[in-house]
A and B are shown apart, each in its own frame.
Chain A
Amino acid sequence: QKNGVSNGTLYKKTFIEHFEQAPMYVAVLTFLGFGVGTVFGYLRDFMRAWGLEKRNIAAEREQQKDFVPLYQDFENFYTRNLYMRIRDNWNRPICSVPGPQFDLMERVTDDYNWTFRFTGRTIKNVINMGSYNYLGFAETDVNALKTVTIELEKYGTGICSTRQEMGTLDKHVELEKLVAKFLGVEDAMVFGMGFATNSMNIPALVGKGCLILSDELNHTSLVLGARLSGATIRIFKHNNMQNLEKLLRDAIIYGQPRSRRAWRKIIILVEGIYSMEGSIVRLPELVSLKKKYKAYLYLDEAHSIGAVGATGRGVVEYFGMSPDDVDVLMGTFTKSFGAAGGYIAGKKDLVDFLRTHSHSAVYATSMCPPVAEQIIRAMKCLMGLDGTTQG
C-alpha cells in the first residue's frame, strides 16, 4: 500500500531548506551570558578553595588524596558551574511508555540542582514532543504486542552468546530476510545496538590506507567508528557538495599524504536526516558525485528509515532513487520501530563479509528475541503484510 506518490524519475524539485539565521543581538547576548557565567564560576571556585563556600559534589577518597587527580580542574569547570544551574532540564525519568502523552516523575531539588529528590508523585498526561517515537510503535496495547509476548514465553530474554558462536536464532534469520525485502536489497544483517553497529562495522570495512570523507555534523557513532578504523579522515562542510567535490578531486590527484600512492578505498559517510540540524542529505547530487569519482557511499538512516519516503523506505525512496546506488545502507530500529538495534544492508557479498569480519558478530551478543519480534511485527505492519491498512 502506498500513502502517496513516489517519484520514479530523478528528483527534479529544487532543494529548499530554511535555516533561520540568529539575529545579531541574540548571538551577542548569548556570548555575554556565557561570559558572566564563567566569571561567576571562577569566583565560586575561588570561594570553594578557600573554604568560604561548601563543596557540594562528591570528593575523592581520603586514602587516595595523593593520587594524580582523576579529573582535571578545567575539564569539570563547565560541569560544576554552568551545567549545574540548568541541570533539571535533562535526564528526567518517565514512568510510562513514551507515547503521545506520558507520565513524568516529579523531581525537586533542595539545594539548587546539586541533588535531586523524587517526591514519589507523577505528573500525568504530559504531551510528549521529545521522544523519537515517529510511528507510534512504542505502545502497550495488548493486542498489538501479542506476538511479542508469545516469543518472550518461548525464547526468554537472554541470548548469552555472540552471533558466530551460539547466538544466531531462526528469529534473526527471519528478521534479516524481512529487512532486506523491506529495503529492496539483497541481504541484511542485524546487530544488538544502533550505536555499536556504526562503531564496530566501519573499522571492519575500512582500514589504514583508506580515506573517509565525513560530513561536519555526523553523529558520534560514525565519528568513533571512523577513528577506530585507523583510516585518514577529512571533513567536508555540512551538505556542501562543492566542498565535497573539491576534496574528492584533491584526494584522487594527490593520493595518500606521504607516499602519493592511490587511496585503497574512498568512502563517504553521510546521514539520511541529521538529528542536530534537521536537514536532509542531498542524495541525487551525492550519488552522481560518487559514480563520477568511484567512491563508496555509506548512508546512516537512523532517523529517516520508516519516517521519510512514500512508503517509509527512507531517503532513498524520498528522492526516487534505487537502493542499488547506495553501497552500504545502515539504520537503527530505535526510532521508528520502537525497539532497539541496528542493521546494515546491501549487496550479498558485503553482508557475507560482515558476517565473518564484523567485530560485533564475533564479540558482542546478538539481538534479543522479543525485540526482534517487535521489529518484525512493526515492519510487517509497514509493508502491509499483516492484512491491515495501517501501514
Chain B
Amino acid sequence: FFSQIDVHLELEERLAKFMRTEEAIIYSYGFATIASAIPAYSKRGDIVFVDEAACFAIQKGLQASRSNIKLFKHNDMADLERLLKEQETEDQKNPRKARVTRRFIVVEGLYINTGDVCPLPELIKLKYKYKVRIFLEESLSFGVLGEHGRGITEHFGINIDDIDLISANMENSLASIGGFCCGRSFIIDHQRLSGQGYCFSASLPPLLAAAAIEALNIMEDNPDIFQTLRAKCERIHKALQGISGLKVVGESFSPALHLQLEESSGSRENDVKLLKRVVDYCMNSGIALTQARYLEKEEKCLPPPSIRVVITVEQTEQELDKAASLLKEAAQSLLN
C-alpha cells in the first residue's frame, strides 16, 4: 500500500530486461526472497526434490511450505533420477492424486556451501522427461557467471524460459540489500498476492533500490569485469593448491572458495579451533578471512568446518599473491 515507488518499478523493469525474462519482482531482504517464493507455489502435499547442500534460506522456505521434501546427493544426477523414477512408480499406483501434486526441483547455480556449480543441462533433460519444474537460486552466480553476468543460464547457454523461476539476492554482486525473482509473468504475478515476504512487509528503501540500479548500469557498461573476475578466481585457485593440510573446495571460477582441513581431527570443535588459529594468524598479518558459519543444530546436512575465501574484482594481483603466500605460511606453521 503506497510503498511502491517509481524507483522500485524501474529496478524491476531493468532486472527483467537484463535477465531477458518477462517480469521481475523485488523483495526487501535476501533471505526472505527464496523463503517466501517457495511456499507461494509449493503447498502441503506437493513434492520437492532438493540438493543436500542447499543453503539455509531454501531449507526454511521448504519448511514453511509443508511439502514433502526429498533430498538427493549433492550434484548427483543418478541419485536424482532414481528418486524421480520411484516417484513415477508411485504415481502409477494413484493417478488421480498424481494429476494434482506438483513437483519441483530446487537447485542453486553456485552453491554457497561447497562452491561448485550444478549440472544444468542434465537437469533440463530430466525436467522434460519427468515433468518437474525447476527453481534456480542464483545468489552467488548472478553477476559472476556467464559472459555478461546473467548467471548460470548464460554460462551453459540455456534458454532462460526453460527455467521456471530464478531467484537471487542482490546482496552479493549488486552490493545492495534485497532480492528478486524473475521469470515469466505467469509465474511471477502469483507472488504479488501470495508471497509472504512481499505482501506483509515494507518495501526496499529507495536508497538501496537506486544503488542496485546504479550497479546494474555498471554491469551493463563494463562487461569485461566478468572476465577479470574469472581470471583472478583462477589465479587464486591455482595459488592455493598444494597448501599442506588444507584442501581447496570449489570450482576454479567460483569467487567464494572453501578451505577445509585435509584430515579432520575427529571432533568438530577441535577443527573449528584449529581453523580459528589460522584465521587469527592471517588477520594479524593483514588479510581478513572468516570461517563459514552454520547453525549446527538446525542444518539438515552440516558441511564440514572451513575457511571461506572470497575474491573481488578490485583486488590487485599482488594482493592475491600475498594472501596466498600468507595462507601457506599459516598452514605450515600451525597445522604441521
Contacts and interface: CB of A to CB of B under 8 A. Distances in A.
Nearest to A128: B2
B300 interface: no
Nearest to B102: A68
B9 to A, nearest CB: 6
A350 interface: no
B5 to A, nearest CB: 6
B69 interface: no
Given A166-B290, A365-B177, A359 B4 contact: no
A58 B189 contact: yes
B287 interface: no
A370 B204 CA distance: 13
A114 to B, nearest CB: 11
The interface residues of chain A, by DSSP majority, are classed as: loop
A389 interface: no
Interface residues of B, number: 66
A27 B128 CA distance: 50
B65 to A, nearest CB: 11
A359 B293 contact: no
Interface stretch (A89-97, A280-288, A305-313): A89-97
Nearest to A339: B205
A9 interface: no
Nearest to A371: B205
Contacts of B196: 195, 220, 224
A68 B131 contact: yes
B175 A70 contact: no
B171 A195 contact: no
Given A340-B28, A360-B31, A95 B192 contact: no
B270 interface: no
A279 interface: no
Given A93-B4, A130-B1, A193 B295 contact: no
B202 A334 contact: yes
A72 B128 contact: no
Interface in A146-201: 152, 156-162, 164-166, 192-196, 199-200
Contact of A58 (B55, B131, B186): B186
Interface in A334-389: 334, 339-340, 357, 359-360, 362-365, 368, 370-371
B2 A70 contact: no
A165 B4 contact: no
Interface residues of A, number: 68
Contacts of A221: 200-201
A364 B200 contact: no
Contacts of B291: 165
A228 B208 contact: no
A228 B29 contact: no
Contact of B200 (A67, A94, A219, A359): A219
A72 B8 CA distance: 30
Interface string A80-99: 00010000001111110010
A99 B65 CA distance: 37
A194 B176 CA distance: 17
A66 interface: yes
Interface in A302-341: 332, 334, 339-340
A167 B165 CA distance: 29
Contacts of B3: 98, 131
Given A68-B102, A92-B2, A359 B56 contact: yes
A15 interface: no
Contact of A370 (B8, B41, B172, B207): B207
Interface in B287-301: 288, 290-295, 298
B293 A162 contact: yes
A193 B192 CA distance: 19
For the complex of A and B, 7 pairs with smallest distance between CB atoms: A158-B175, A195-B201, A193-B29, A58-B186, A364-B31, A334-B202, A157-B211
25 contacts: A58-B22, A61-B186, A63-B128, A67-B133, A68-B103, A70-B41, A70-B102, A95-B5, A128-B2, A131-B2, A158-B211, A161-B290, A165-B292, A165-B308, A194-B202, A196-B197, A199-B32, A228-B64, A340-B205, A357-B295, A359-B56, A363-B295, A365-B29, A365-B30, A370-B207
Interface of A: 57-61, 63-64, 66-72, 79, 83, 90-95, 98, 102, 105, 128, 130-132, 152, 156-162, 164-166, 192-196, 199-200, 203, 219-221, 224, 227-228, 332, 334, 339-340, 357, 359-360, 362-365, 368, 370-371
